[in-house]
């Protein structure tokens, strides 16, 4: 191996450490930070390149080197040479397979900067990992094997880097040693890439011929490529412009994380400034309320600041006691961000379970957490060919453009303008897994033009007149479990008690309001959403609403629960085992389903997710419908 | 005019952001406090994150009874200075069975540290625990998330980690599940030292060289911190000028011979040294993937 740490920068550092540690510490203290990703597939030499950067910046210790040498001999792919890739591939299972499957973070530093490298796997099945690494990167190093040129994965990596808004792209044409440092071949690759890059909107990138294995153009300009006039990789990384600096010239945006209230005399709003700068006396606006005030002081443990800039975590105090809490955004008074509840977005699906259009997910954007539903995608993007393809859902690693709506307005900015107010994650409400990441592009006009009209007679007034507390009694259970029969009995009992009620029955609603819907998962969700909205309007009108729907999915029942004030949604599980419901088969539907004449029938070829903690549970094997109804009414008392 | 933030300013801001997210979203957070230099930095960052309030969570020290005496002294003082409650947990089963590092090998770590930690988290019902681990320490750490999800039995599944994008952390979980949060994930050993230097953070004096009683055993330089240290045949304690790069249980923590008695000297020595930080710890040496395995079992 021809190690070439004949690098002036590194020797200078080492000398300084030895001779004048205080001077070194002073230098180190003023370093800036660059985060970047390396993208490439197994054979492109990505791990080797990172290993080389660590090695050349003296980040590998003797004990690690000793382990590395023994590992290289045992399982390396470079013969007797040191296999830098082994240094980088972390988890045990991955080392055995010889591939990097998760995002790993590496650290090294030079005179000028500290670097955090997100090492991302390259295969298509790891698109989500690359997107994760790219989300925090200022720069992407896209590796190409000089022998192979621009490949499908090069396109994929470039598209993803562009999608996540990485402005600085380095095209590292690697393994130049294996094509004898041939300038013509290099130029052809660069020309090829330039054409492709333009087609996906990348107008500017930095190409360089390198060899991670031999060390060409890594820390020093290589004598093997005299025709190359650009900077070596390390020097480029040390001087490229930082996103954090650019963010400071944008208008002020700070999402409030936490209200700091140690005593009655102090109220501060803590957060990390996303863009812009802030000073005492600045006029600010709190979104979504739109209220304005001025900054009184910027508080830190190190004393009050006269200025704070994008990237800093601070606590701001206002001149007035205006309302402000977690999820709100503090913004420049004369240049506030938009507030909306419907958007067009690009979504990267990251979970094994596909997107269910219409289902309610948690959406986290900045410090805002709201319920959101995603429409069926307009199209998905083939990450290899960039073609748009029709799709009904998003599977693992799929990237699609879809409309998204939130249950209340959120403060946002287009992702292209502001990553902190445009990037979001979706969280499954049952498993709590992070299932997707997305980028908001713009709000949809109808969200901007449809406003909530305040009315003077509110839901309390309606309920008081009826002398009752509104409720939704949500009966759920298999077809044939007895939901409608029991709900009918309960309504009769409540009616006798002079309660104002209304029964929404599954079959009846499908004759009118929902007659356009079928029985696919998406249609079932929309069915329940509409019923939920109607039931909520009736509850707003002061009624006790009874609904009898199979409502097989937990997520949708929880969605309706979330629409209502605490305690108004009463989930009643009509618990009947499938065998019994099927044996009853009042409407003959199970027979049809078993015969294959009825598709997506709950319990047969479509799942039923029983409530985990129903408010009321009735067992129809042990109770008659009348007994079940009486039991339910007893549980509901008192009704005022 | 642009004010470029230094890497330490950005790391500090990131750690503060992470801590505030936890406090806003967790039900009952706690900060694991090991009294080491990483814990010292983490505690300092917590004071910054919530100033002028004290950090709104307690400190938890999972004690093995085998830490250095000077660590116990600083532990009490640091909690008091920060205005925080200090919870000390010692595994009662390990006490009863007299588990110690001399006779019980890896069982010592399993019971006192891994077992003790799980007990303490369960006993107090903490749903989020801050830890001072860094990604540069060890390979399996390099891939761990900042918000690292744990099952009801405290297990870690490295193959099934939640994607973590931008600075959006998902703190949602079912009851009985928990999350370990590592606010200084992106700091390196040098960053830690530099920050301690810059912010004048108090650390255990054992990090600085002084003449201390030692013996050499299995290639490690061990300090005799109290009378519980059983000398083997022929072993005679020798005063050597030593210091520690990491601190744990004293019989398991290797010292280095050094004359570095000030912070700049320590940093200088660290930068010129040729071995990695965890080399002084017996726990990592068993096998290459030992830390990954320990973490899956619930070790921090």
Distance of CA A594 to the CA centre of its chain: 40
Q: What is the domain range of residue A158?
A: 8-243
**Residue A266 to residue B49: CA distance in whole angstroms:** 15
**Residue B40 to residue A307: CA distance in whole angstroms:** 28
Q: A163 and A58 in one domain?
A: yes
**Residue A634 to residue A139: CA distance in whole angstroms:** 65
Q: Which residues of B touch A104 (CB under 8 A)?
A: 139, 142-143
Residue burial B59-96, b: 16+ Cβ < 10 Å; e: rest? bbbbbbebbbebbeebbeebbeebebeebebbbeebee
Residue A3 placed within a domain = no
Residue burial B277-298, b: 16+ Cβ < 10 Å; e: rest? bbbbbbbbeeeebbbbebbeeb
Q: Which residues of A touch B197 (CB under 8 A)?
A: 25
Position A13 scores a pLDDT of 59
The residue assigned the tokens 């009694």 is: A473
Contact between chains at A62 and B274 (C-beta distance less than 8 A): yes
How many residues belong to chain B?
Answer: 300
Residue A2 placed within a domain = no
Beta-sheet strand order (sheet of B220-223): B220-223, B210-217, B238-243, B256-257
Regarding the domain delimited by B7-192+289-296, which CATH topology (the fold level of the hierarchy) does it fall under? Rossmann fold (3.40.50)
Residue A454 placed within a domain = no
- CA atoms A204, A209, A212, A217: torsion sign: negative
| Residue B257: both structure tokens together | 């011979």
Residue ending a domain, among A178, A213, A243, is A243
Q: A174 and A265 in one domain?
A: no
The reported pTM is 0.80
pLDDT in tens, A231-240: 999 999 999 9
Q: CA-CA distances (angstroms) from residue A257 to A126, A313, B25?
A: 32, 10, 10
Residue ranges for chain B with pLDDT beneath 50:
278, 282-288
Q: Which CATH number fits the domain that encloses residue A287?
A: 2.40.30.10
| Residue A229: both structure tokens together | 């006039």
Catalytic hit among A158, A249, A551, A606: A551
**Residue B198 to residue A107: CA distance in whole angstroms:** 21
Contact A186, A221 (CB under 8 A): no
* 3-state SS record for A455-477: CCCCHHHHHHHHCCCCEEEEEEC
Interface with B, mutate which of A84, A95, A105, A423 (most B CBs under 10 A): A105
CA dihedral B286, B289, B293, B294 (to 10 degrees): 50
- ipTM for the complex? 0.90
Residue ending a domain, among A177, A212, A243, is A243
Position B143 scores a pLDDT of 77
Position A64 scores a pLDDT of 61
Contact between chains at B158 and A300 (C-beta distance less than 8 A): no
Interface with A, mutate which of B168, B291, B295 (most A CBs under 10 A): B168
What is the distance in angstroms between the Cα of B96 and the nearest Cα belonging to chain A?
36
Residue ending a domain, among A449, A475, A504, is A449
Confirm whether A551 is a catalytic residue.
yes
Q: A323 and A265 in one domain?
A: yes
Contact between chains at B165 and A91 (C-beta distance less than 8 A): no
The residue assigned the tokens 């801590």 is: B19
Q: A95 and A131 in one domain?
A: yes
Residue ranges for chain A with pLDDT beneath 70:
1-16, 18, 41-43, 58-101, 122, 445-454, 639-640
Contact between chains at A301 and B275 (C-beta distance less than 8 A): no
Specify the DSSP element, H or E, that contains A174.
strand A168-174
Q: Which CATH number fits the domain that encloses residue A233?
A: 3.40.50.300
Residue A515 placed within a domain = yes
Extents of the domains making up chain B: 7-192+289-296, 202-284
Position B286 scores a pLDDT of 42
Contact between chains at B159 and A103 (C-beta distance less than 8 A): no
A184 exposure class (CB count in 10 Å sphere: 0-12, 13-18, 19+) = exposed
Q: A278 and A193 in one domain?
A: no
Contact between chains at B140 and A309 (C-beta distance less than 8 A): no
What is the distance in angstroms between the Cα of B157 and the nearest Cα belonging to chain A?
12
Q: A520 and A414 in one domain?
A: no
Q: Which residues of A touch B170 (CB under 8 A)?
A: 364, 425, 427, 432, 434
pLDDT in tens, A400-448: 999 999 999 999 999 999 999 999 999 999 899 999 999 999 998 655 5
**CB nearest A64 (choices: B11, B54, B276):** B276
pLDDT in tens, A176-225: 999 999 999 999 999 999 999 998 989 899 999 999 888 899 988 999 99
Q: What is the DSSP letter of A42?
A: G
Number of compact structural domains in chain A? 4
Q: A351 and A318 in one domain?
A: no
Residue burial B114-131, b: 16+ Cβ < 10 Å; e: rest? bbbbbbbbeeeebbbbbb
Side-chain-side CA neighbours of residue A349 (13 Å):
24
The residue assigned the tokens 């303490």 is: B120
Q: Which residues of A touch B185 (CB under 8 A)?
A: 105
Position A58 scores a pLDDT of 63
Neighbour count for residue B244 (Cβ, 10 Å): 24
């Amino acid at each position: 191996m021809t190690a070439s740490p004949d690098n002036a920068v590194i020797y200078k550092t080492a000398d300084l450490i030895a001779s004048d540690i205080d001077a070194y510490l002073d230098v180190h203290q003023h370093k800036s930070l660059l985060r970047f990703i390396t993208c490439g597939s197994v054979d492109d030499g990505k791990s080797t390149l990172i290993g080389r950067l660590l090695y050349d910046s003296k980040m590998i210790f003797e004990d690690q080197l000793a382990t590395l040498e023994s590992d290289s001999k045992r399982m390396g792919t470079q013969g007797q040479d040191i296999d830098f890739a082994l240094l980088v591939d972390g988890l045990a299972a991955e080392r055995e397979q010889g591939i990097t499957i998760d995002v790993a973070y590496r650290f090294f530093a030079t005179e000028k900067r500290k670097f955090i490298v997100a090492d991302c796997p390259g295969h298509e099945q790891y698109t989500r990992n690359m997107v994760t690494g790219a989300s925090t990167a200022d720069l992407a190093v896209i590796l190409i094997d000089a022998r192979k040129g621009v490949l499908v994965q090069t396109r994929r990596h470039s598209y993803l880097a562009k999608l996540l808004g990485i402005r600085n792209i380095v095209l590292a044409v690697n393994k130049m040693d294996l094509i004898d440092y041939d300038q013509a071949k290099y130029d052809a690759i660069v020309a090829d890439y330039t054409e492709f890059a333009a087609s996906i909107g990348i107008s500017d990138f930095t190409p360089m011929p390198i060899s991670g294995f031999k060390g060409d153009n890594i820390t020093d300009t290589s004598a093997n490529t005299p025709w190359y006039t650009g900077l070596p990789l390390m020097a480029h990384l040390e001087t490229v412009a930082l996103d954090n600096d650019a963010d400071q010239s944008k208008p002020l945006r700070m999402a409030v994380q936490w209200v700091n209230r140690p005593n009655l005399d102090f109220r501060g709003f803590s957060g990390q400034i996303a863009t812009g700068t802030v000073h005492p006396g600045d006029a600010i606006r709190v979104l979504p309320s739109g209220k304005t005030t001025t900054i009184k002081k910027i508080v830190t443990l190190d004393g009050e600041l006269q200025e704070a800039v994008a990237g800093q975590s601070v606590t701001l105090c206002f001149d007035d006691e205006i309302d402000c809490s977690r999820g709100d955004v503090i913004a420049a008074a004369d240049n506030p961000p938009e507030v909306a509840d419907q958007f067009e977005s690009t979504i990267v699906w990251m979970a094994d379970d596909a997107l269910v259009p219409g289902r309610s997910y948690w959406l986290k954007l900045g410090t805002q957490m709201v319920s959101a539903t995603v429409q069926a995608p307009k199209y998905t993007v083939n990450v290899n060919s960039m073609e748009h393809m029709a799709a009904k859902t998003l599977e693992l690693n799929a990237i699609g453009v879809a409309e998204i709506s939130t249950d209340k307005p959120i403060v946002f900015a287009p992702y292209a303008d502001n990553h902190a107010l445009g990037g979001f994650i979706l969280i499954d409400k049952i498993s709590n897994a992070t299932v997707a990441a997305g980028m908001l592009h713009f709000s949809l006009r109808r969200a901007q033009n449809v406003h909530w009209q305040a009315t003077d007679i509110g839901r309390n007034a309606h309920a008081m007149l009826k002398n009752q507390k509104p409720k939704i009694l949500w009966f759920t259970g298999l077809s044939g479990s007895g939901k409608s029969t029991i709900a009918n009995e309960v309504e009769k009992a409540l009616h006798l008690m002079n309660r104002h009620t209304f029964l929404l029955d599954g079959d009846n609603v499908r004759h009118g309001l929902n007659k356009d819907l079928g029985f696919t998962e998406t249609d079932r969700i929309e069915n329940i959403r509409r019923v939920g909205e109607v039931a909520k309007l009736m509850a707003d009108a002061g009624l006790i609403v009874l609904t009898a729907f199979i409502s097989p999915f937990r997520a949708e029942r929880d969605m309706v629960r979330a629409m209502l004030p605490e305690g108004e949604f009463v989930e009643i599980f009509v618990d009947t085992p499938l065998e019994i419901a099927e044996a009853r088969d009042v409407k003959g539907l199970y027979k049809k389903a078993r015969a294959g004449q009825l598709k997506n029938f709950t319990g047969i070829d479509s799942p039923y997710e029983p409530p985990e903690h129903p408010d009321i549970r009735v067992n129809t094997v042990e109770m008659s419908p009348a007994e079940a109804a009486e039991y339910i009414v007893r549980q509901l008392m008192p009704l005022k | 005019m642009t004010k470029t933030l230094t890497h330490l300013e950005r790391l500090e801001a990131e750690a503060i952001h992470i801590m505030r997210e936890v406090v806003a979203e967790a039900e009952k957070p706690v900060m694991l406090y090991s009294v080491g230099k990483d814990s010292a930095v983490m505690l300092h960052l917590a004071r910054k994150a919530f100033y002028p309030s004290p950090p709104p969570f307690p400190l938890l020290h999972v004690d093995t009874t085998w830490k250095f005496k000077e660590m116990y002294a600083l532990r009490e003082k640091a909690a008091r200075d920060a205005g925080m409650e200090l919870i000390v947990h010692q595994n009662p089963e390990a006490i009863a069975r007299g588990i110690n590092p001399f006779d019980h090998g890896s069982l010592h770590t399993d019971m006192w540290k891994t077992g003790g930690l799980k007990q303490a988290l369960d006993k107090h019902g903490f749903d989020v625990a801050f830890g001072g681990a860094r990604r540069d320490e060890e390979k399996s750490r390099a891939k761990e998330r900042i918000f690292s999800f744990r099952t009801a039995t405290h297990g870690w599944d490295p193959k099934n980690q939640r994607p973590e994008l931008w600075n959006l952390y998902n703190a949602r979980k079912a009851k009985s599940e928990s999350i370990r949060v590592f606010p200084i994930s992106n700091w390196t050993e040098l960053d830690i030292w530099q920050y301690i230097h810059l912010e004048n953070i108090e650390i255990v004096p054992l990090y600085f060289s002084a003449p201390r009683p030692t013996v050499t055993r299995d290639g490690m330089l061990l300090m005799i911190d109290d009378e519980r240290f059983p000398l083997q045949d022929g072993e005679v304690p020798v005063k050597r000028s030593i210091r520690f790069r990491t601190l744990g249980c004293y019989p398991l923590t290797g010292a280095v011979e050094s004359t570095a008695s000030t912070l700049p000297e320590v940093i200088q020595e660290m930068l010129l040294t040729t071995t990695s930080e965890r080399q002084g710890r017996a726990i990592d040496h068993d096998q290459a993937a030992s830390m990954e395995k320990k973490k899956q079992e619930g070790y921090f």
